[in-house]
Amino acid sequence: MKCHVNGLTLQQWIMCLVISLSVFIVNFILKFVPDSICPTLGDEDPEDVKAAAEDYLALRKLRQ
């Protein structure tokens, strides 16, 4: 597909609008997906958080 010398043709404008408006349809469908299907981010074991903090402090001391 080529671009017209004076810009986009009517057909190209319509294609761009259809593609961009499809985002609204996908968003509407995703609103009805339950949260239980999606992975939970940030739910970490407290021991892992503590170990990471200790490792970070050890690396900071090595840098100084």
pLDDT at residue 3 in the model: 67
Residue 28 falls inside a structural domain:
yes
Residue 45 falls inside a structural domain:
no
Domain residues for 11?
A: 1-34
- Model-level pTM? 0.43
CA–CA distances in Å: residue 46 to residues 41, 52, 53: 14, 10, 11
Residue 30 falls inside a structural domain:
yes
Task: Please give the radius of gyration of the chain, using alpha carbons only, rounded to the nearest integer.
Answer: 25
Query: Consecutive 10-residue runs of the chain (64 residues): their mean pLDDT?
Result: 76 92 93 83 84 92 79
pLDDT at residue 4 in the model: 67
| Residues in Cβ contact with 3 at an 8 Å cutoff, skipping those fewer than 6 apart | 12
Query: How many domains does one find in the chain?
Result: 1
Residue 56 falls inside a structural domain:
no
Angstrom distance (rounded) from CA 8 to CA 16: 10
pLDDT at residue 5 in the model: 78
